[in-house]
Amino acid sequence: MKEILSDTERWIKTGQAVAIGTVIQTWGSAPRGVGAKMAVSAKGEISGSVSGGCVEGAVVEASLEVMDSGVPQLLHFGVSDETAWEVGLACGGTIDVFVNLLDPAWYEPLSSAIQQERTVAAATIIQGQSEQLGRTSVLLEDGKAFGSLGDGLDEAALEAAREVLASGKSVRRSFHPAQEEKALDIFFDVILPSPVLVIVGGAHISIALVEIARVLGFRTIVIDPRRSFGNASRFPNVDQLVQDWPDQALSEIGLNRSSAVATLTHDPKLDDPALMVALSSPAFYVGALGSQKTQARRRQRLLEAGLSETQLDRLHGPIGLDIQARTPEEIALSIMAEVVAARDSAQQT
């Protein structure tokens, strides 16, 4: 959703209708995951992607029809369909895409939550009676809700949305209200805050790491109390620069399940206090620069400082995937690859 916000809001300001296609289910080797989105303006402009290019044309056509008729559409693309060969899914992937007309009643609170980096879930009826399709309710992590699904669905849907928010994963579920002959399908779309990469130490590796992380959609924070290392001239594109001791800074930032931490100073006075905080937090990734010998000494120090073996087993050290990296840029690439792998693994568990 985040990748389409700026374009979507620009179209809205010009008075255009907008339709949004969302991947709600996948089977096999689908090119994009559940929750991937593409927005289409009334002029046929597109933003985002639901298939990496395979089915975009068909989704644009459906979006224009939805804007014309006001009736959402549930699209299915797969190898068993003739359409699959036409749109490029003959490799074995199968996806369902729901195309819905953007409604300010649910879009505005959803957009606001995303821009504030808050966890939010949108519950949308994707299969049922024609008059029910596209109804959307938005639930924030603090329990506030916006919009209604109608037909006595809100209480059950909100309870399910709370479970989905806790899991952090988007999901499609069926409901069978007493007054309905057939079950309804509701898609719960969970949108998490942007992942954050916290870098301890303004080393040369850190400069390259900030740039790579930003390209991949991570917010970046660099912490270094040494002003010659942690300053704006070295990090002009970082989202946040903190000139404070790492343990204090990390405690104030507040690490969560969307956080990754990389300690790169190679100085125990800075790295060790940061690791004490990071390894005791819900951060999905914690890594530290240094050789195997350095890691062994570090591990012993942290054990003596009070961390458990279980906590230390979370530490990625030496940091980064082994790609025989030599330059700062190559090392930064190896670190970012390991961070992305850890994030994707955490999302699947």
Nearest Cα to 168, choosing from 254, 50, 96, 257? 257
294 lies in the same domain as 167: no
268 lies in the same domain as 336: yes
Nearest Cα to 128, choosing from 172, 191, 65? 172
Q: Please give the Cα distance from 44 to 75 (Å, whole number).
A: 18
331 lies in the same domain as 296: yes
What secondary structure letter does DSSP report for 320?
S
Across the range 4-12, mean pLDDT stands at 93
Domain end call among 191, 226, 261: 191
Q: Please give the Cα distance from 110 to 122 (Å, whole number).
A: 8
- Provide the number of structural domains found in the chain: 3
Reported as a pLDDT band with limits 50, 70 and 90, residue 23 is very high
C-alpha dihedral over 196, 202, 203, 206, to 10 degrees?
20
On whether the CB atoms of residues 136 and 100 are closer than 8 A, the answer is yes
Query: Residue 293's pLDDT is what?
Result: 94
Residue 289 has pLDDT above 70, yes or no: yes
129 lies in the same domain as 94: no
Domain end call among 155, 174, 191: 191
Q: Specify the CATH number for the domain of residue 211.
A: 3.40.50.720
97 lies in the same domain as 26: yes
Query: Residue 80's pLDDT is what?
Result: 47
Q: If you write DSSP's letter for every residue of 194-242 in order, what string do you get?
A: PPEEEEES--HHHHHHHHHHHHTT-EEEEE-S-TTTSSTTT-TT-SEEE
Residue 256 has pLDDT above 60, yes or no: yes
- Residues 290-332 have pLDDT tens digits of 999 999 999 999 999 999 999 999 999 999 999 999 999 999 9
Share of the chain above pLDDT 70, in %: 91
Across the range 251-271, mean pLDDT stands at 93
Residue 83 has pLDDT above 60, yes or no: no
On whether the CB atoms of residues 238 and 245 are closer than 8 A, the answer is no
Domain end call among 101, 117, 136: 101
Across the range 204-209, mean pLDDT stands at 96
C-alpha pair distances (Å), 29 with each of 92, 171, 221: 6, 18, 35
Residue 59 has pLDDT above 70, yes or no: yes
Structure tokens at 303: 């054990």
15 lies in the same domain as 32: yes
97 lies in the same domain as 120: no
273 lies in the same domain as 319: yes
Query: Residue 53's pLDDT is what?
Result: 66
Q: Please give the Cα distance from 93 to 84 (Å, whole number).
A: 9
Structure tokens at 215: 């390209």
> Of 165-179, 242-256, 294-308, which gets the smallest average pLDDT?
165-179
Structure tokens at 99: 């195309």
286 lies in the same domain as 305: yes
> Of 49-58, 95-104, 304-313, 334-343, which gets the smallest average pLDDT?
49-58
250 lies in the same domain as 158: no
328 lies in the same domain as 201: yes
On whether the CB atoms of residues 138 and 158 are closer than 8 A, the answer is no
Query: Residue 281's pLDDT is what?
Result: 95
Q: Tell me the residue range of the domain where 120 lies.
A: 104-191
Question: What's the predicted TM-score (pTM) here?
Answer: 0.77
Q: Please give the Cα distance from 124 to 136 (Å, whole number).
A: 4
- Residues 92-139 have pLDDT tens digits of 568 899 999 999 989 999 999 999 888 899 999 999 888 889 999 999
Reported as a pLDDT band with limits 50, 70 and 90, residue 166 is confident
- Other beta carbons within 10 angstroms of residue 88's beta carbon come to 18
Q: Write 307-315 long-range contacts (CB < 8 A, 24+).
A: 307/275, 307/276, 307/279, 307/280, 311/279, 311/280, 312/279, 314/279, 314/286, 315/275, 315/279, 315/286, 315/287, 315/288
Cis peptide before 282 (omega within 30 of 0): no
142 lies in the same domain as 228: no
- Catalogue the E-assigned strands of 52-119: 73-77, 94-101
Structure tokens at 220: 């970046």
- Residues 211-236 have pLDDT tens digits of 999 999 899 999 999 999 999 999 99
Return all residues near 153 (Cβ < 8 A) that are at least 6 apart.
Answer: 125, 175, 177, 184, 186
- Number of residues assigned to the chain: 349
Query: Residue 335's pLDDT is what?
Result: 97
